[in-house]
Structure 1
Amino acid sequence: MRNVVGLVLGGGKGTRLFPLTAQRSKPAVPLAAKYRIIDIPIANCINSDINRVYLLTQFNSVSLHRHIRQTYNFDGFHGGFVEILAAQQTTEGANWYQGTADAVRKNLRYLQQPDIDYVLILSGDQLYRMDYREMLKTHQETGADVTIGALPVSREAARGFGIMRLDDSGQVRGFLEKPQTDKEIEMVRTEPSWIDERGIESKGRDCLASMGIYLFKRDVLLDLLSNNDYEDFGKEVFPMSIRTHQVQVHLFDGYWEDIGTIKSFFECNLDLAKAEPPFEFYRPDAPIYTRPRFLPASKLSGVQIDTTLIADGCLIDEGTKISNSVIGLRCRIGKNVTIKNSIIMGADYFESELASEKNQQDGVPHIGIGDNCVIENAIIDKNCRIGNNVTLTPGGETNADITNPELYVRDGILVTPKGVTIPDGWKNA
């Protein structure tokens, strides 16, 4: 894999994940109590022996850059790196990235090294575990110019994906974005028997969805991006490559989730807290890496906890009940608190005793959750100050913007932006 370079696309605005992306980029959003979304594609690269990774960034990227800098430091003997390619003015152009393809085009010079033969393009907002060595094997055995990850899905699920039409050899012959009618699906369906013959149980699934994972021959990628001004890979470059080059599919049937909306983010995190989660973060052969932190063990006293992930450095007082939830780093949770079906992201730092005493004198809650609070179907972002006797639920709303304090309801989930203060006794009436 020494001649393969990973290219992670992490520069989008992440508007569908707002307000979690109000102060950070989407790949920097915390995941599963102690990770960040960006850790997934980078860990997959490391576990696949790809140790040269470029990360393309643009919007709200400070925390993402800090995380990369503090987490991924390779030894000096193997030439590995995770390098950030932020949008910048150059002699060739002064514009920001106009899309995924435009972002890669503006950084082609980093791919023109003599020891690079293949470029693996990845999304920075997906949760899955894949061995890219298997994808390269498919790519080489079929003699492909481009290979794309393909996930078998049902007809119902196909309406939310880009679906590919193949010939018997697995070469992509057509592509349709989010087919809605049965007639459209019939145009791009794949015989379940074809999927079964390749070692994956189709289980009635007859559509192959694009996972947004592309492996290019380096020179083919240079050619595709140098002769046009296309801005998006999925909508423009990939359909064009089907017409002009040999594009093959690499079948994948493990857990895969696109964390693009508040609802998908919420459901994905709570699924990870289950007794038998669909995705395990630790496997001896392929762990997910993240920033090492020097935090004490969490301290729990007289609490009831069920189906919950709890990160390091938490302090949870007596009488508190937590179920089906995710509790992030440095969470401070008071007495007799009830938390159900919620994500509490925690804090970036421990508040000093002096600062906490001063805040109490000023009537400002400490960072964390006060006594006698009820939190249900909610996402509490980092560094929030929640007073005593507060009730945080969607309140029957599906989508709403709340002022004083600033809160949002998205897809029936209450979301507090980072650093919000909620006074004693507040309820979402």
Structure 2
Amino acid sequence: MLLVVEVIDVEMIKLYRSDTFIMLGFTRVEEFVYMARPIMVILGGGAGKGLYPLTKTRSKAAVPFGTKYRLVDIAISNCINSEYYQIFVLTQFNSGSVNRHIVQTYQIPPFLDGFVDPRAASLTADNRHWYQGTADAVRQNLGTICGAAEISNAQQVMIVSGDHLYHMDYRKVMDFHLKKGADVTLCVNPVQRDRASTLGIAQWDDDHRVTRFVEKPKDDALIDSLQIPHDAEEFPGAFLGSMGLYVFEIEWLKQFLTDHSDRHEFGRDFLPGVVGSSRVFAYAFEDYWENVGDIRSYYDAMMQLCKPNPRFDFDPVINNHRHRLFTRGRSLPPAKINGATFENAMIAEGAILEVRTQISNSLVGMRAFIDTDVVIEDSILFGCDEYEAIPERQRRFQAGEIPLGIGSGSRLSRCIIDKNVRIGRNVILENRSGVMFADAEKYSILDGIIVVPRDTVIEDNFRIE
């Protein structure tokens, strides 16, 4: 059934599916403000220094997640689930793999009048610099963004980070932005004090209009002053942490970026200066959101996926929502379990687990090969880019070389094993001594977690105990 949507303050009429309104919780079509869709801009160019060595050969947005996805899939999937199909992804550091993934994965059907366009940073006659920050990345692509907006009659641009974990219906943010008549809307997530110094923190009035914004406050007295009063009706005692997600009126953004070419970061240089002079509002997002900025937060986010009821999940039946997570289809066979046992684990397609192997609280990526009598606990295996055929594995054994995968008799605990790693027989990676930080030729220990970089070869009988 199709319904004609009543448009408020917009000279446009659109057709919309009735089940969309049910999903969003509206009982009448008139409750939902709808206008031309915004242009979506995903910031996917970060170097991800906090996730090194996982970002040694890839950008942060391209880091694998959940056995078969990449972090950038989350933001793009949120766009598609919100029926926003005109999407630019701005990339820069180690952009080859993420650009290739986007092009191979996201082909928007022509009848939806959309695209997913990776825009790698480049030097031109008019621009002699790489992206200097989030705002500068948008500034350097402003002509392309405004051109797409003119063609589609979009009046807003929504800018989101390409490496955060959350399910969000962006239409609710747009509805809030339009009803407030805002120039700028930023999304905030209520956080506790221990995270306040790592995020931009906003304050608002009773109408959710932002009255103050401080980027990553460090001083204790300053942090105290940004806390929501304990007797407040909404989020008492919490802090409003910026999610790095913004909606701008395009003409307003174009004028501001043109007039302030020396401002490169939205959080640090942009928001603090416009709070008093423009209509800036904050949309509160209360569901799960995580910025995986370091190895510890990334590891914890992956581990919670193994729980029976994780806070971030791919299964719409379990969580009673309709958000699907998209990625590239690879036509791999189902995982093959040859007598292995596992508990609270995620096993990707194409993986092969041999007899007497035990896996618990772990994620096993695509095409991973795990030989006999292996024990894996609380670990993340990215898998492999290709299979190694049995004759090739046998040849390597005979030549004294290490084949792809995890060799027989090995034990892994609290590890992150990057792609295409070759681990020999009877290897122990456990860190029982509790070393917090170490840097060696074949591995790193970061916050107590053993990280083995991509393409590493670990010989038989190697030990970290």
* TM bracket (short chain): over 0.9
Listed as ranges, the gaps of 5+ residues in structure 1 are 197-201
C-alpha distance in structure 1 between counterparts of 2:240 and 2:336, whole Å: 47
1:152–1:205: 8 Å Cα contact kept in structure 2? no
Q: What is the match of residue 254 of structure 2?
A: 222
Note closer, same or farther for the CA distance 1:130–1:323 as it changes in structure 2 (3 Å cut).
same
The answer to whether the 8 A contact 2:338-2:353 is kept is yes
- The change in CA–CA distance for 1:159 and 1:309 in structure 2 (over 3 A counts) is same
| CA RMSD, 1 decimal | 1.6
Q: Distance in 1 between matches of 2:146 and 2:162?
A: 23
Aligned mate of 2:437, from 399, 412, 422: 399
Q: 1:104 aligns with which of 127, 130, 138?
A: 138
What amino acid is aligned across from residue 20 of structure 1 in structure 2? L
Aligned to 2:291: 258
The aligned counterpart of 1:6 is 40
Task: Report which structure shows greater RCO (CA 8 Å, sep ≥6).
Answer: 1
Whether the 8 Å CA contact 2:54–2:418 is kept in 1: the answer is yes
The counterpart of 2:156, out of the listed 106, 118, 121, is 118
Q: C-alpha separation between the residues in 2 aligned to 1:133 and 1:240?
A: 27
State the Cα deviation string for residues 222-263 of structure 1 (Å, max 9, x = none): 122111221111111122221331110101100001011111
SS at match of 1:250: strand
Q: 1:21 and 2:59 equivalent?
A: no
Letter in 2 for 1:236: D
Offset of residue 137 of structure 1:
0.8
- The residue that corresponds to 2:271 in the other structure is 238
Query: Could you tell me how far apart the structure 1 residues matched to 2:146 and 2:174 are?
Result: 19
Which residue of 2 is the match for residue 282 of structure 1?
Answer: 315
Structure 2 CA distance for aligned equivalents of residues 88 and 159 of structure 1: 33
Q: Residue in 2 aligned with 1:416?
A: 452
User: Over residues 11-53 of structure 1, what are the superposed CA-to-partner deviations in whole Å (9 max), with x where a residue is unaligned?
Assistant: 1111110000001111111101111100001000111111011
Q: Return the alpha-carbon distance in structure 1 between the equivalents of residues 255 and 228 of structure 2.
A: 30
Q: C-alpha displacement at 1:385, in angstroms?
A: 0.5
Q: 2:238 aligns with which of 195, 202, 206?
A: 206
Whether the 8 Å contact between 1:19 and 1:417 is mirrored in structure 2 is: yes
**Following TM superposition, by how much is the alpha carbon of 1:389 offset from its aligned partner in structure 2, in angstroms?**
0.2
Matched, 1:155 2:193: yes
Q: Distance in 2 between matches of 1:282 and 1:333?
A: 26
**TM-score w.r.t. length of structure 2:** 0.87
The answer on 1:73 being equivalent to 2:111 is no
> What is the rounded CA distance, in whole Å, between the counterparts of 1:74 and 1:134 in structure 2?
23
Q: Which runs of 5+ in 2 are unaligned?
A: 1-34
Partner in structure 1 of residue 3 of structure 2: none
Q: 2:343 aligns with which of 291, 294, 306?
A: 306
What one-letter code is carried by the residue in structure 2 that aligns with 1:244? S
Secondary structure, aligned partner of 1:329: coil
The equivalent residue for 1:341 is: 378
Separation of aligned partners in 2, 1:206 and 1:263:
23
What per-residue deviation string (whole Å, max 9, x for no partner) do you get for residues 200-219 of structure 1?
A: xx3x4432111111010111
Moved more, 65-74 or 157-166: 157-166
**What is the CA–CA distance in structure 2 between the aligned matches of 1:292 and 1:192, rounded to whole Å?**
49
The aligned length equals: 421
Identity of aligned residues (%): 40
- 1:285 deviates by 1.7
User: Match of 2:80, SS?
Assistant: helix
The answer for the alignment partner of 1:427 in structure 2 is 463
Please say which of residues 351-360 and 81-90 is displaced more in the overlay. 351-360
Partner-residue secondary structure (3-state), 1:53: strand
Say whether the 8 Å CA contact 1:89–1:95 is kept in structure 2: yes
Asked whether the equivalents of residues 166 and 190 of structure 1 are also in contact (C-alpha less than 8 Å), the reply is no
